[in-house]
Amino acid sequence: MLTCLDTRRPPRWWGVLAGRAARPDWRDWKSFEPLIGHARSARVRGPFARLGRLKPADLADLLEDANRTESHEILQTVHADPELEADVFEELEPDSQTRLLRERSDTEIAQVIARMRADDAADAINDLPQRRRQPVLDALPAGQRTKVLTLMGFNPSSAGGLMALDVLTMAGSSTVAEALRAAGEARTLQSQALTSVYLVGQEQRLLGVVTLVELLQADPAARLEDVADRDPVRAGPDTDVVLTVAVVDDEGRILGVITVDDVLDMVIPEDWRRREPAPHPAHRVEQPGPGDSPHEMPPGS
């Protein structure tokens, strides 16, 4: 099954003692998928079936909990969509990602890594055994190989090691309308890197930054240099990361940006990264009425 079901129900008398009637636990079996060694149902359900409707993070969770046989079948099914397969590998914890990649040939690893974001691809290659790194790099498309090699030249925990190389840059003389159009057409960039447009001059020197919210609120005919922050926060490639910022070289040329997901990976302990519902807050602030001041309310009030 694609999810863990707790089929154990408390006896009906327990519901009475607890002061509540037992409720039936309804399940729509159309949402479940038979897996593992069931050849006849595999032919019926086709090569992709319901797995394709799960988010990459959910599929990664399944792989984290699956045994070797189960994980192979899940990956074999997900392989029907190469882009989804790459997204799933990006969501895996490093140990699981390395374990599953090592079971593939160098060419097969390169096929997955070629579709990953360059920063995640560099991390994945760094986690491979030393003897397998160069063959995988050689099998990558030239463009992805150049990006990955650039990132591998930096300390993984520095700004250079965490930055995303794909960033939306425009000339300061461009208009707000042109910037919004470019952002809408930049479908290959990760969404976290599309929160801002970066103004560059000659030789890609960073001149300013303007957020998409500011663009949406600005006059479409205005020039970017008139609405942008001309002195944005920035970091050198060897800087320890504390904020989401543009990364520039010694000459002020923009190299890339660090996105919030990379920052969170650095500051959140690995054993805390569980995709579970957040607990209820210990306190909440009640919305004040006219003339009142906000005050805390105890839990459950």
Asked whether residue 144 falls in the same domain as residue 187, the answer is no
Q: What is the DSSP string of 221-270?
A: TSBHHHHSBSS--EE-TTSBP-S--EEE-TTSBEEEE--HHHHHHHHS-G
Residues 46 and 139 in one domain: yes
Question: Do both 243 and 176 map to the same domain?
Answer: yes
Asked if residue 178 and residue 125 are part of one domain, the reply reads no
If asked whether residues 39 and 147 sit together in one domain, one would say yes
pLDDT of residue 78: 87
Q: What is the CATH number of the domain that holds 232?
A: 3.10.580.10
Residue 18 in any domain: the answer is: no
Q: Is residue 226 part of a domain?
A: yes
Same structural domain, 147 and 185: no
Full-model pTM:
0.61
Residues 38 and 67 in one domain: yes
Closest residue by Cα to residue 2 from 59, 52, 49, 57 = 59
| Tens digits of residue pLDDT in 102-151 | 999 999 999 999 999 888 999 999 999 999 999 999 999 999 999 999 99
Q: Which backbone phi and psi does 173 adopt, to 5 degrees?
A: -80, -10
**One domain for residues 136 and 176:** no
Q: Do 203 and 135 share a domain, yes or no? A: no
Q: Do 184 and 119 belong together in one domain? A: no
Residue 121 has a pLDDT of: 93
Residue 189 and residue 88 share a domain? no
CA–CA distance, 206 with 169 (Å, rounded to integer): 9
Short-list 24, 3, 21, 1, CA closest to 12: 21
Domain identity same for 49 and 144: yes
Q: Give the pLDDT of residue 279.
A: 47
Residue 160 is assigned to a structural domain of this protein: no
First to last CA, the chain: 39
Q: Give pLDDT, residue 111.
A: 96
Which range marks the domain in which residue 223 is found? 169-267
Any idea what the CATH number is for the domain that residue 118 is in? 1.25.60.10
Q: Where are the alpha helices (DSSP H) in 129-223?
A: 130-139, 142-152, 159-162, 176-185, 212-217
Q: Residue 200's Cα: distance from chain center in Å?
A: 27
Residue 247 covered by a domain: yes
Report the pLDDT value the prediction gives residue 1, as an integer from 0 to 100.
Answer: 44
Buried b (16+ CB within 10 A) or exposed e, 167-188: bbebebebbbebbbeebeebee
In a domain, 289, yes or no: no
pLDDT at position 282: 47
Decide if 290 is inside a domain: no
Measure Cα distances from 185 to 67, 116, 181 in Å: 41, 20, 6
- pLDDT for 160: 83
Q: Which of 123, 152, 181 is the last residue of a domain?
A: 152
Final residue in a domain of this structure, among 152, 180, 202: 152
Q: What is the pLDDT of residue 35?
A: 58
Q: Are 225 and 207 in contact (CB under 8 A)?
A: yes
Stretches in the chain below the pLDDT threshold 70:
1-52, 240-245, 260-261, 263-264, 266-301
Residue 15, domain member (yes or no): no
Work out how many domains the chain is built from and give that number.
2
Q: Is residue 194 part of a domain?
A: yes
Would you tell me how many other CB atoms lie within 10 Å of the CB of residue 229?
13
